[in-house]
Structures are given as C-alpha cells and as structure tokens.
Structure 1
C-alpha cells in the first residue's frame, strides 16, 4: 500500500507495527514508510503486507479512528486498485478478503457481510441492528451521480439491498443452526411464511432449514426436523394428546395465531405445508440406524432394542441371530403397548404387534 494512501493515519499505522513486534524491541523512524523498491527489499527493508493491513483494518482502534471521509477515500482507492488488477495479471488483489466498507456502527466490513440499507420487514440498519448495513453517509455519497461507478462496482462484488429473500439466502440459511433465539423466533418465521405465500421461496429454500430452531408448545427451541405438529395444526395423525407429557417435540401454534384474529382452514393447510418442507413431521415414520458396522445382539440391546426382537430364534428353532445391520424402528414405538401397526416395507405391507 502506498504511503500516499490518505485514508490511513500514518502514526496509527506505525504504532500498530510496533505493537505487533513488541517482543523484537522494534524501533521505527517517525515516518518509516517509503515507496516500494525491489532493491531495498533485498537489503532487508520490511514490507507491510496485505495480511498485516487486513489485521489492522479489523482492529478496534483503527475502526475507532477511521472517519467517514477516510472511508470514502478508502473505497476509491480499492476501486482504482481493482481496476488495475483487472488490466494486469501482475497485481493480485483479493478484494473479497479486505474489510473496507464502513457499516452503521462505523466498523469496517467484508463485502459479503454487509447490505445496502433498505426498508424491509423488521430492523434494517439501526445502530442496534444485528446485521451490517452500509453507513448511511457512505450510502448517500455512493448514490450521488459522480459515484455511480463505485456503487455498481460494490454491487458487482455482491452487495445487495437486504430484502427478505437476500437475507434468507445470505444470512439465515448459512447460519440456520444458530440464527434463531427466543426474541426472533416468531418474527423470522412470519417473514419466511410471507415469502412462501407469495411463491418467492419453496421446497428448495425451506428444505435447507431443517436445522433452523422452532418453538415447542412448552417454549423450548429445537431443530425443525425434530418436530411433530401439535394437534391444533390438525395433522393426519394427532400425537400430542398421547405424548405431550413424555416428549417436548410438538410445534407451537403461536406461529399461526401471533398476528391473526382467526385461523382459516385453508391457511392452516398452508402452514402445515410450509413447516413440512422444513422437516416437521405429520405422521409416524421409519427410523433407520446407520451403524458403520454390523452390530451384535448385545450391542443392539444397548441401543434399547428389545431382547424379544434381537434374540429371536430362526423359524426352525436351531439358531439365534447374533448380528444385525440396517435396523429400523417406527418413531415412538417405545411408548406404545399392545398396539398393532401396518408398515409398508419394500412395497409389502407388514402387520406388526408391539406387546411392550
């Protein structure tokens, strides 16, 4: 980076280098930076590399001292360097790895972690917002006619307005296991359901949210794929009445009633279809145990398979099976007693009786 880069405070840069090299008792001249010269490099003059530069940009002290006007010049600088890198193969500039765009909290962000501010459902750029948005002053500056090329360049780098769809694709799906908390649980699903109703998202997007946490009827958070519909959703097989005191895995109906005065039958069907695409179960299903090896009868019993099943003699009574693979059970089978089930296996309907 050239010493003429006016968006860098030279004194801060010098102090940053000293702080990084405390163990070496490094001393530096008051103005230690010179233009790049290959001959001087061979003589041992150090290079302030891009790795050092990126680390400095991420530091709290740099962000605190970096002004809006300096950030404007920084954007212009990297745009010019990017143009140079496009014209020649000699210069390699990985702009996606450099945090150079100021957000609403005056922190520098990578282009993949920041949005242009826009009015959308929910918070869209306040200082207390969890997501990062381009600083309002920087945004207005980019919208000026003479800076249109800069904004087009940033858009080319992937910065978009934070619509609910881009937010889903860019933030929620990549962080589906950790994004939901009790504060945003209802509001997030409401936004996604609106997108679903409008046909903007469907099975492809919702199928990537099986690990997104949902609220149970008791208020706990669990991954969507671990849920069953509570009876208020009118599922094909109502299970809540039998199992609600045993397992906390039934989907809260608050998602439906949070902003609706009444629940229409057609709308309830849409909610079931929506949640089903996220992995919520409406019926019993076969659970396959994918062991990485053939297990013995004793191991199967340790996995809570009943000895009545795994120690059964062969039809002629001469042998007892002692090794198993591809074991499957019906969900909730352990909670049933004296029930008969009809299960389709490999195209054949089998009647099972569970006596325990």
Structure 2
C-alpha cells in the first residue's frame, strides 16, 4: 500500500475543549506534489490549509483576536454591539465568536458577496446591512461608520486598522509555518485582503530569515498595490480597492496580479489534482505560487502558499459555473 493510501494512526486530542473558540489554529501544511508536477515545476509547493479552522477560513484567527482585544481594553460592556464591515469570512469569524460569547453583532457587506456567506452569518445570529456592490468595501466601511456614530453602545474592531489582526498571525500562523517546515521556507505567498496575514507572517519569518521572500497577491482588476486603479472583480475576500492601513509594505518583496479566470481555473485544478476544494482567493494565491515556482531560480526552493478558505462557501459564484 502506498504512503498516500494509508490512513494516519489515530491521534486523539487528549482533552475536552471548553469552547469551540479553543480549536482555532494549528492548521496543517500540506505538500501539493501533483499540482507542482502538472505545472512542470522543480520547486516544492506547500499549502497552509486555513480552512481547517472551525468556521473554515483564516479569518477565524482574527475574529477571536479582535474581540479579545476589545475585551482586554475594557471596551465591551454587557449591552455593547460590535459593528464591522466585512467581505464575508471575517464576518463569519466574528459571528461565531460573538455567538459563543453572547455579544450582539451587526455586519455591513457589499451585496455582491455570495449567498452562502449571508446565510451562514444569519445562522450564527449576526444582523446584516448590505451596501451597493459598485461601492466595494469602501461603501461597507462608510455604512459601518454611520452605524457606530448613531449607536452610543457600538464598537468597531476595524479589521483594516486593528493591530490584533497582524499580531495574531505573528503569534500563531507564522510560528506554525516555521515549526512545521523546520524553518526551511524560501517563499511565502499570500493574497491580500486586510494584509494582516502577510504582515504578521512576514514580520516573524523575515526576522528569522531575511532571505525569505514575501509575495503579495491582488486581483488584476483592482491592482492598487501595483499602482493601478480600484475596480470591480470576482475574487472574493481580497482586493478591497485601497491599500490596507495595517499592511506593512516594507515586508513585500513582490506583488503579483491575478485575473479572475486564472483564480477560478487554479482553484478547480487544485480540487481535481489534489482533492483540495479551495476558495477563489486561494486559487489566486496558488496561481501566483505556480507563476513564481516556474522561474528557473526557484528550482529546489520551498514555496508556502496561504490557502484562506474552502470552496463550499462559493457554490453560487462563477467558481462553479464551468462544472
């Protein structure tokens, strides 16, 4: 029996958790051998599978971290309401953390976000305010600010400004990558939404090995990091149309822009070759990783790609149109 056909020995967790919130993190780093072989790469591709978090995305980490920061700062009272603009996954992360803690939550988001995300948010008890799609995340942010101004008991974590966002990635995500790879990483590829993942990981990993290259990924149709104009695109969760305030651009070695269809195609191929149904922004990041890995100087190098979310959250999007 080949190694890939063997089920791993059972490793019990050895504890009973007091809350679902305690299960966040410690996501696996998985080698994508078939995807690399299909592309003819001599580089090694690894995927940090953030959909192993309890609500299925990398944002679980920051949802709990931002609420924890509000609690530590004494900004949450018994009747407090959390208000936050979100493209979806951060909202789900905040919603499950707020539900577990008994906190009221109002989320503003562009109406273009998938039905799956909206339904999940409502299931978790969040209240939704949808903003016009053409306004992008900027419109959702403006509406959230209006709500906070009109509600005396409202607080806004502000994921695009909140230091708890990159800090939790520095404390957990970066440490997991370093430990699981035994410190042998050459490139880290991260699609940029708030910029928290790239900033937190880059801060730690580059300090330990300055030669590690941090690659930022953004939509071709909203390439603001590359000096382009903001625009509408179909890669949910990234490309907010402005440079996120918490993004430390000094950590970025290169920015790659990815077309909508490239993100869709790579996500589909990853599912078909690796058995990993990944989300759209994951497809964008993996598309960039394949582009980097094809370079001659990448032969024998190890490329880690952050895979933010799972495909099932995008059933009503063009990711599934060609199937």
TM-score normalized by the length of structure 2: 0.23
Larger radius of gyration: 1
